[in-house]
Structure 1
Amino acid sequence: MKVIRDSIHKDIYLEDYELEVIDSSEIQRLRNIKQTGLTYLVYPSANHTRFEHSLGTMFISSKIAEKINADKKLARISALLHDIGHPPFSHTLEIFGYDHEYFGKRKIKKMDLVNFSSSEVIKTLNKKNLEGKIISGDVDADRMDYLLRDSYHTGTAYGMIDLPRILRGLTTFKSFNKVKIGVLKKGIQAIESLLVARHQMYSAVYMHPTVRIADTMMKRAVMKEILEKNLNVEDLSLMDDISLVSFLRMSENYLMEKIDRRDLYKNLITYGYSDLTPVERWIFANLDENQVLQLEEKFYNHFGCDVFLDICSIPKMEEHNVYIVSKEEIRRLDEVSPIARSLKMAEIQLWNIALYAPRENIKHLKENDDVKKKIHKILKEIDFEIKSKLVDILREYKSIIGKGKFLEIARERGISPKEFYEELHKLIFCGLIKERFNGRKYIYSLSNSINSHYL
C-alpha cells in the first residue's frame, strides 16, 4: 500500500486502484481549488485545497464504515470523488445554477474506476445507500473533515472536534425498513461538541464579514464575464483557481484588480435576522440571481457606484436531525439536548443580508441619511408573491400533527419528499410555519405573520 502524509490524519494508506483514481485529471484539478474560497484574504494560512479535503473525507469514511459494517471500499472511493465537480474557489462560485454535485456525477460517468461502476458511486453520492449517508448525512465524514481541516489551516481552535469519541458513538438502526446512522446515548456530548464547533466556525470563519465581501466581489466578477458571453457557466467545471484568476486578469476585470490589491468593498448596511419580518426573510431567501442583479442596477442608477446585495444561504443544520439511540427509544437530538436547541436558534440568528459599496464611496454613502431611506424604499418595492403548496395545505388543515402525516398529505398534492423537506425547512427558518414538539410528535401550523401578507 502507498501512504500519503496528511496534516490532520497523519498517515493515509491507499490501495493501488485508489492511487490510480487520485492521479486522474479530475482529482488532480482539486489541488488548485482552495477549500474555503477567498478566506485566505482574512486568514492568510487558509490555502488548503479540495484535494486534501477529499483525502481526509475518504479517511474518515473508512473509519465510519468499519464501525457500522458498511462497504468500506465503496465508501472510500465515493468519498474521494465527492467534490470533483467543484468550481474554482469552491462554494463561492456556485452561481447561475451551477451545482457541483451535478457536474461531479457527470464527470464520474466518464471515468474508469477499475473496481467499481460509475453507477455504484453515483448511487452512493445520491445517498441511496448506507455508504452515501456516511459521506453526506446528519453526522458525516465530509463535515467532520472540513471542521478539523479548516480550523487547523485558519489557525483557529473552534473546529477541533473529538473525532475518536464521535466514531465510538456511531451506530445503526432501522426505520421503515431503511438502515440509518445514529448515535448512542453515551455519544451525545461528542455530537454536541460538533454542533458547537460548527457554529463557531460559521460565526468566526465562514461568515466572517470580510470573507463574505471578498466572495461577493469574486462572484460579481465572474457573473460579469458570463453575462458578457466571455465565459460559460459550464467552463467553471474545468477551470481551477489559477486558470480563472488568469482569465479575469487577462480580461482586465476591475473587480479582480481590486481583489488582487485587497482593495475590498466595505459594509454599507446589514439587516439581521431579527430586523426582518418572516415575510421579508422569505422574499430575500427566494430571490434569484437575476433579481438580485436587477436590484443592484437600481442601486447603481441611484448612487452612481456599485452597491452589491449579499444574501446568506439558509443554514441546513443537518446535525440537528441526528437520532440518539438507546435501549428504550430513538429520539432526535433536538428533543433530548437543550444545548442543541439553543444552538439551533443561535445558528438562525447568524443569518443576515448585507449591502457593500466601494471603499472610496462608503463614507459619503454612510453619512447621507437619504441613502438608507432610498435603499429601504427600493427593497420594499420588490414585487414578490409568497407561493407555497405547504402553506396552502396548512391554510386548509389549520394544524397538522406529525411530520410523517404532513409529508403524506404533501405527496398526495404532487410534492416529492425532497421538495417537502427543503421547503418546510425554509418556511420554518423564515418563521412562516411554526414547528412545536409536544413530547411525542411535531405539530405544524402557520404563524400569525403570514395571514396578512399571503397572496
Structure 2
Amino acid sequence: MMSSAKEMEFKVFNDSIHGHMELHPLCVKIIDTPEFQRLRNIKQLGVTYLVFPSASHNRFEHSLGVCYLAGEMVEALRKNQPDLNINEVDKLCVQIAGLCHDLGHGPFSHLWEAFLKQKGVVWHHEKQSVEMFNHLLEKNDLIGEFEKYGLHERERRFIKDLILGKGDSCDQGKQFLFQIVCNEENGIDVDKWDYFLRDGLHLNMNIIFDYRRILKFCRVNEICDEEGNKMLHIVFRGKEAYNLYEMFLVRSTLHYKAYQHRVVLLLDQMFVEAFMEADKHFTLKKLDGSGEIKLSEAHKYPETWTNLTDNIFYDIVGSHLNGLDNAKDICKKILSRKFHHFIVKSKYCFPEDVEEKKAKEELKKKAKEIEKKLDSKHSSRYLVLFSHIQFGGSCPDPFENIYFFSKENPSRSEKVDLKEIGLFPISLESARHAEFFLFDKNKDGKKEERDEAKSLFLRYLDNKN
C-alpha cells in the first residue's frame, strides 16, 4: 500500500523557473544519491556556456524541473478527466521518469554522444539513463523504498520504458502516459517545456509560449490512425493551436540563436577532436581496482560513469601522461579563445529528391565534399560546418501529429491546417534550407588564400554545381 499524502513529507525546492516545487519523498531519496548529484557537474547546454556566459545551468536543476512538470501534467489530466483513473502510483512513476531521464548524459551533455559516434560507438544517453537508474537502485539499496510506495518490479520497468519513450509495460488504457516525459508522437512533452524555459532564461531570450494554458486545455481522446488502430492520445483545445505554434517557434529560435550558433558548432568540433586525441592515451581507473579503461569505454561501467563529469576537460589539461600533447594543445586553444578563423557563411537549399528526415546526412555529406575539394589545394586547412533548423525536430511539420478538440465536442479530435487558422507554417519553408560556415584552422593564414577558399566554398554550395 502506498502511504497517504498526509503521512509523507514532501520537500520544497526553490526553482528559478517554477518557483517552489514540492517533490515526493521517494524522489528526494533518488536526488540524494551520488549518481543523481553527478548531474550538478554537467552543463545543460554543454559548450554553449563558453559562448553565452550566463548559460551555466546544469542537468541537475533541469531534471528537478521535469519531475515537477510531469506531476503537474498528470494532475491536470486527472482534474480535466477523472474517468481516466490515474492513480498515485501512475503519477509517481511518471515523476520519477522525468527526474531520471537524463541520468545517462555524458560530459558536456549531447557533446559526448557526438564524440562516441565519431569513435564508431553506437550509444544513446536514454539507454544509458536506464542503465544508471538500475545501478542507482542497487547501489543505494532503494528497491525496498520503491516497494514501500507501491513501485514493484512491474512499476520499475514502466519507469524505464517511460524514460525511453516506448514499451509494453503500461496498463491497458493508459498509453497516453508515454506522451508526458518523452513524447515520440509530436514532441510536446514536459522535458521540452522545462528546457525551453530554463535555457531561455539563462540565455536571456524571451520565451513566449505558456505551458500553464496548455495544461488547462488538454485531455485524452481516442484517436484512430491510418491503419485503423485506436490509441489514446493527449489532445488540446483548438484555441491553443497558436500557443503550441509559439512553443515550436521557441524551439527553432533557441536552435538558431544558441544551440547551432556558429561558434558553438566550432567548439563542439574542437572538443570532440580533443577527446578523440585524449582517448588514445588518457585512461580512467575502474573503481574496483581491476584495471583501466578508455574514455570511449566509460559508459560500460556505471561506477566509473558516476565520476565522469565536465571536469574531464580539466583532468586532460592537467594530466602528465605521455602522448596527450595534441589533446592538451586543443584544450589550451579553447581556454585561450584561439578558435579557428571564421571566413564566410552561405545559405544552401538541398535538392528536392532528398527527404527532410535524411537532411542531416545529406548536409554532412555536402560538408565533407566541400572540405575534400578545398583540401586538394590547401591540405586539411579548412573546416566546413553547417546548421539546420527544423521547426519541430525530425518532423518538418510537427502539427501533422497534433490533434485538437472543440469546446462543443470535447471527445472528438481532429488535426488542423496552420494556413486555415492564419499561421504561416515556417517549418515547411525552412526545413529544406541550411547554413554552411567556412573556417580556417590557420589563425595566421594569408588573406589571398582565404579569399580563394571563400570563392571556391561559395561556388561548391551553388546548387547548380
TM-score by length of 2: 0.71
Q: 1:323 and 2:411 equivalent?
A: no
1:121 is aligned to 159
Distance 1:294 1:26, change over 3 A: farther
1:171 is aligned to 219
Distance 1:30 1:74, change over 3 A: same
Question: For residues 333-362 of structure 1, what are the alpha-carbon distances to aligned partners after superposition, in whole Å with 9 as ceiling and x for unaligned?
Answer: 445665655221354266334332236156
- Counterpart of 1:145, as a letter, is D
- Counterpart of 2:272, as a letter, is K
Q: Greater helix percent: which structure?
A: 1
Distance 1:350 1:290, change over 3 A: closer
2:23, 2:68 within 8 Å by CA — same for their partners in 1? Answer: no
1:146 to 190, 195, 198: 195
- Distance across 1 between alignment mates of 2:259 and 2:250: 12
2:360 is aligned to 285
Aligned counterparts, 1:376-455, within 5 A: none
2:26 is aligned to 17
1:8, 1:149 within 8 Å by CA — same for their partners in 2? Answer: yes
After TM superposition, the structure 1 stretch with the greater mean CA deviation from structure 2, 37-46 or 325-334, is: 325-334
- Identity, in percent, stands at 24
- 1:332 shift after superposition: 2.9
2:386, 2:437 within 8 Å by CA — same for their partners in 1? Answer: yes
2:237, 2:405 within 8 Å by CA — same for their partners in 1? Answer: yes
Distance 1:201 1:292, change over 3 A: closer
2:426 is aligned to 343
1:204 to 257, 263, 269: 257
- 1:13 shift after superposition: 1.2
Question: For residues 353-399 of structure 1, what are the alpha-carbon distances to aligned partners after superposition, in whole Å with 9 as ceiling and x for unaligned?
Answer: 4332236156537644256438967x99xxxxxxxxxxxxxxxxxxx
1:136 is aligned to 182
- Counterpart of 1:168, as a letter, is K
1:244 is aligned to 313
- Counterpart of 2:123, as a letter, is Y
* Aligned length in residues: 378
After TM superposition, the structure 1 stretch with the greater mean CA deviation from structure 2, 282-291 or 122-131, is: 282-291
1:91 to 110, 118, 122: 110
Unaligned runs of 5+ in 2: 1-9, 79-85, 167-174, 224-228, 284-293, 300-304
1:80 to 84, 96, 99: 99
- 1:92 shift after superposition: 2.2
Distance 1:142 1:284, change over 3 A: closer
2:419, 2:425 within 8 Å by CA — same for their partners in 1? Answer: no
- Distance across 1 between alignment mates of 2:367 and 2:315: 27
- Distance across 2 between alignment mates of 1:26 and 1:340: 45
- Distance across 2 between alignment mates of 1:290 and 1:85: 29
1:425 is aligned to none
2:343, 2:450 within 8 Å by CA — same for their partners in 1? Answer: no
- 1:65 shift after superposition: 0.8
2:247 is aligned to 194
- Distance across 2 between alignment mates of 1:295 and 1:224: 24
Distance 1:13 1:156, change over 3 A: same
After TM superposition, the structure 1 stretch with the greater mean CA deviation from structure 2, 37-46 or 74-83, is: 37-46
1:106 to 131, 138, 143: 131
- 1:171 shift after superposition: 1.5
- Distance across 1 between alignment mates of 2:215 and 2:31: 26
TM-score by length of 1: 0.73
2:205 is aligned to 156
